[in-house]
Structures are given as structure tokens and as C-alpha cells.
Amino acid sequence: MTITCVSPIDGSVYVTRQTLNEFEAAQAVAKGKAAQIAWAARPLEERIALVLQAVANIGAMNDEIVPELAWQMGRPIRYGGEFGGFNERALYMAEIAQEALADIKVEDSINFKRLIKRVPHGLVLVVAPWNYPFMTAINTVAPALIAGNSVLLKHASQTPLVGERLAQAFADAGVPEDVFQNVFLDHKTTSALIADRAFGFVNFTGSVAGGKAMEAAAQGTFTGLGLELGGKDPGYVMEDADLDAAVDTLIDGAMFNSGQCCCGIERIYVAQSLFDGFVEKAVKIVEGYKLGDPLDPETTLGPMAQARFADLVRSQTADAVAAGAKALIDPAGFPRDGGAYMMPQILVNVDHSMRVMREESFGPVVGIMPVKNDAEAIRLMNDSDYGLTASLWTQDTNRAEAIGDAIETGTVFMNRADYLDPGLCWTGCKDTGRGGGLSVIGYHNLTRPKSFHLKKA
């Protein structure tokens, strides 16, 4: 089977790669498992140094990576790629590794030594998405390797060069090639490997349907799964909010990367007293965007990764307008709209009967609703199948924390949005998935506890 990356820039075939057959895939698994034993035996400091060298190697490639990303998934080159966040996350996980992986000492007396160690799972499969292909991959790859696991990376077919770049960076750093392997696998082979207990842990970032397929494959194997799936993240602007800051951040969170962000803002609820001003400012910001060729430094919105993704957003928007919503952005300002090139849109007069307020859009559209009070905002924010992040805008930290306690979500932001803090657990609930990455908890998920009860006499 061949994996094909069709560039959203012009519809041309940009990359093709052959997938491994079942025998080749089994060989990769065997190599990874065999290499892991010696890798885990290396001193922690050595593993950290090699991983950080690989991260630096990616930084040295950034000038080549940025246009590659534009060709593969459409992000404008003006944003300079992902190395800042990629580096931040890896560095943080390296800094906390010693403490996060330290033995838990219960007793060391004349009679007993009792402790709990954190030991690697063995071989970890990382299935990474295309929307932030470097940052999402490093979330698991760096701590998995630092913790002593070996890794098989299966990257999205839309961004196949990312896996190859990472493999080159780790190999050049001195990480054994069997310890970190980039593989091209079809869905059938991936599921068969999981069902055959090939992996000690599987981390998947992608669609809800993909997460269900992972769970189905792992059924009965007791393989650990980390799943980050869909999202429909809300923002709530309270009457005491800094209006300009709220508009700037939430609209950027809705539209950046053409809306293709795991924790992008997809619905906004605004206190009635601020609603008109918020909408007016939001429209002005969006009208200033330039949709076009992502290789043009003036472009602020590139194409979505695939035309079918844009068509879904168009369908949701059209259905909402047919049901009474009002679209505020004039298509005349975005002549490039069509195919994978999706113009941004702001909708008002929306409600939760509309698909655009309930289904994941993953594109540059956002619905904005006025709310009377906190209770109504909480009810609406929780009226979703998803729960990744929520963004609260107020000057009152206690109020934000109390509302955050009532929201069904993985992360609560106050006066910011669309940011992954490596010191905090990246997690979700409901159809967004389960498990947690980064932070100390990320290390806990990539290792298992092993107890030692040693009687000395």
C-alpha cells in the first residue's frame, strides 16, 4: 500500500511512501523491543542528553522544515514552524525527569528496604496527527525515550516528512536507530500489531473514530492507551473582562492554523453587556486576515489540510445560516476561497440546535452567543460531547476557579487560550479521550510502578 500526501497548496502529489507489510512491521517491533533493554540500562542523564541533542538537531533543520510544513499541511511560513513549542516541551520534560522518575522510598532500615520504582513499558507506539506534527509527536516521544522506552512513530499520512525528519535528528544525535523508528503503516497492520500485544503503551492523537479503532484493537490485551481525540473548546467572556485582550486571544484561538488546533476555540459565550462590542471587534480582526498561498510571507491564513475538511466547515456554516444564524464576514473580502482554501467566518444568532455549535469543526469558523450569567454559560459550555480546554475571561481568579470546577474539561484557562503548558497535564474527558501527557503525570503514564520488598535478614 502507498501513502500519499496531496499538498493543499495546489493539489499536487507532494510525497508518496510505501507502507510496511506485516512481516516488515513485525521485524520493526522485534528490533524495537530488543533495543529497548540496553537503552533503558543507560544512565538517565545520558538518555536526556541524547534526546536534547536530537531536539537541537530539529532546530538546525528549521529553515527547511517550515516550507515543508506549508506544502504538507498548509500553515503559512510567516509563523516560522513549531520549534519554539517543540523545544519548550522537550526541555521541560528533561528538567523534571530526575524527580518524576525517582524511586519512591518507603523504608531503608536494618531489616527491610522497600521502594517503588517507575519502569518503562518497553516499546511505545506514537500515532501523531498532522495539525501540529512536531509538537504533538514530541509530547510523547521525548518523555518516552527519557523514561527508557523505545519508540515506534507512525505519523499522519498528510505529514510523512515529519517522521523522517525526527528519525534523522535522533539518529544524528546518537540514539540507536532501533530505539527510535519512524514507520509507515496502514490502519489494518497497526490494528493487528496492537491486537497482538506488540506495544507496552499506545499514544494516539486524532479523531474520535480513530480512538475507537484503537480501543477496539486493544480490547482484551490490557495495553495502556493515551487518547487525545476531538474538541469543541469554549470561551466565556464575563462582564469584568479585558475586552480587547479577550477578543484578540479568542479570535486568534479560533482562526490560527486555519482553525486546525486541538484546543482551538470553536464557540464563544459573552456576557450580554459586552456582546455587541466583542462581536464588532472580532469582525474587524477577521476582516484583516489574508487568505492565500502559505509560501507568501504576507499570508495569514493558508489552506486547510484537505479540501474535504473545508467542505465540512462549509456544510456546518450553511446549515447554521439556513437555520437562522447570521454570517458576519463578507466573502468578497476573501476571493481565494474555494477547495482547501477556506475563508474565515463569524456566526451570530446561533444556538445549540446547530451542528456548528455541537460538532467539531476544526476549521476557521466560530459561533458567538450572549449569555445572562455564569449558570447559563456553564450549562452551555458543558453541553458538548467533548472536553479538552475552556477559556475564561475575568479579573476574578476565585470566580474563574469556581466556574472551572463546574466545567467538564481537561484544562481551564483564565485570560488566555490555545496553549499547552508542559508543566500541566494535557488531558481531556468525554469524547476528547483519556490519559494525560506532559508534566509529571506524563511520565507516570509512560512507565509502570514496580514494587521492591527486600528483606535484609
Q: Read off the DSSP letter of residue 424.
A: S
Residues annotated as catalytic are 228, 262
The DSSP annotation for 340-389 comes to TB---EEEES--TTSGGGTS---SSEEEEEEESSHHHHHHHHHSSSEESE
| Cα gap 114→13, rounded to integer Å | 59
CB 96 within 8 A of CB 89: no
In 229-372, beta strands by DSSP E = 233-237, 265-271, 326-327, 345-348, 365-371
Q: Where are the beta strands (DSSP E) in 103-229?
A: 104-108, 112-120, 123-128, 150-155, 180-183, 201-205, 224-228
Helix (H), strand (E) at residue 36 = helix 22-41
What is the model's pTM?
0.97
Fold of 233-421: Aldehyde Dehydrogenase; Chain A, domain 2 (3.40.309)
Say which CATH superfamily domain 2-229+432-455 falls into.
Aldehyde Dehydrogenase; Chain A, domain 1 (3.40.605.10)
- Extract long-range pairs of 165-169: CB within 8 Å, 24+ residues apart: 165/58, 165/61, 165/65, 165/68, 165/134, 166/54, 166/58, 166/134, 166/137, 166/141, 168/57, 168/61, 169/54, 169/55, 169/57, 169/58, 169/61
- Per-residue pLDDT for the chain (457 aa), expressed as one digit of tens each? 899 999 999 999 999 999 999 999 999 999 999 999 999 999 999 999 999 999 999 999 999 999 999 999 999 999 999 999 999 999 999 999 999 999 999 999 999 999 999 999 999 999 999 999 999 999 999 999 999 999 999 999 999 999 999 999 999 999 999 999 999 999 999 999 999 999 999 999 999 999 999 999 999 999 999 999 999 999 999 999 999 999 999 999 999 999 999 999 999 999 999 999 999 999 999 999 999 999 999 999 999 999 999 999 999 999 999 999 999 999 999 999 999 999 999 999 999 999 999 999 999 999 999 999 999 999 999 999 999 999 999 999 999 999 999 999 999 999 999 899 999 999 999 999 999 999 999 999 999 999 999 999 8
pLDDT at 418: 86
Secondary structure percentages of the chain, helix, strand, coil, to 5: 45, 25, 35
Residue 205 C-alpha cell reads as: 492523537
Domain ranges of the chain: 2-229+432-455, 233-421
Q: d(Cα 17, Cα 23) in Å, to the nearest integer? A: 17
